[in-house]
Amino acid sequence: MNMQPHNAFSQAISADAIRTYIQRVYAWMVGGLLLTTASAALVASSDTLQAAIFGTPLVWVVMLAPIAMVFFLSARIDRMQPSTAAGTFIAYALTNGLSFGSIFLVYELGSIFQVFLIAAGMYTAAAVFGYTTKRDLTGMGSFLFMGLIGLIIASVVNIFLGSGVLEFAVSVIGVLIFTGLTAYEMNKIKEQAIVMYAGEGLAHKRAIIGALSLYLNFINLFLYLLRLFGNRD
């Protein structure tokens, strides 16, 4: 890999601008995770909500709506008003938590907390690497995205095969892929801090879409680690 910064803009961005942008991205990401956690805990603590969500066709809305919101944000972020982008991200985080309520019903609470700490540690290490490295991670990103496609295909195939060995392999590969994607996305987000000079509206929207990428990486890393190390009730 090229040891030189791969974006010519990177040398023109002040350290303060980069720091402010990264802080904004992480504020949205952490806020999204907190909303998801609160929403999931609410579902786990309410038999009424569990019956309403998982015992009716509403479960399909809860499962599919977050996917639709991700595509909506990714495709239309540049044409949205900042308030619309913020509202969509908040709605996504809350709705995602409704489906994650099932995690508390399947795994022991202590196990969930332990895996969360493991995921947070791995995620932080990968993010720090992505932020501090001088390497060009573009090629790494392309490789990881190809691996992600293969991971999705293997997961779908295993729905029909029901192979424990394949499920274990998918979980291990998933951990590796989303750890790598965290470093890649962090590196890319750092380069995108140039938007701090392009106006508050664009910087606000780009911070939200960056937060969405990091949020998805953390959630998937956590879920694959939970499959590997989580203790079921």
How large is the average pLDDT for residues 105-113? 88
How large is the average pLDDT for residues 181-201? 80
pLDDT at 197: 65
Backbone angles phi, psi at 4, to 5 degrees: -85, 150
Backbone angles phi, psi at 232, to 5 degrees: -80, 150
pLDDT at 198: 60
In a domain, 39, yes or no: yes
3-state DSSP assignment of residue 232: strand
Contact in structure between 222 and 180 (CB atoms under 8 Å): no
pLDDT digits (tens, 9 = 90+) for 55-108: 888 888 888 888 889 888 888 888 888 889 999 999 999 999 998 888 888 898
113-120: long-range pairs with CB below 8 Å, 24+? 114/229, 115/222, 115/225, 115/226, 115/229, 115/230, 116/222, 118/225, 118/229, 119/218, 119/221, 119/222, 119/225
Report how far Cα 58 is from the mean position of its chain's Cα atoms. 24
pTM: 0.86
Highest mean pLDDT out of 66-70, 121-125, 136-140: 121-125
Q: What is the mean pLDDT of the chain?
A: 85
Q: Domain of 171?
A: 13-229
d(CA 59, CA 65): 10
Backbone angles phi, psi at 198, to 5 degrees: -105, 10
Report how far Cα 232 is from the mean position of its chain's Cα atoms. 24
pLDDT at 2: 44
Structural domains in the chain (count): 1
In a domain, 7, yes or no: no
Band of residue 183 on the pLDDT scale cut at 50, 70, 90: very high
In a domain, 6, yes or no: no
Band of residue 5 on the pLDDT scale cut at 50, 70, 90: very low
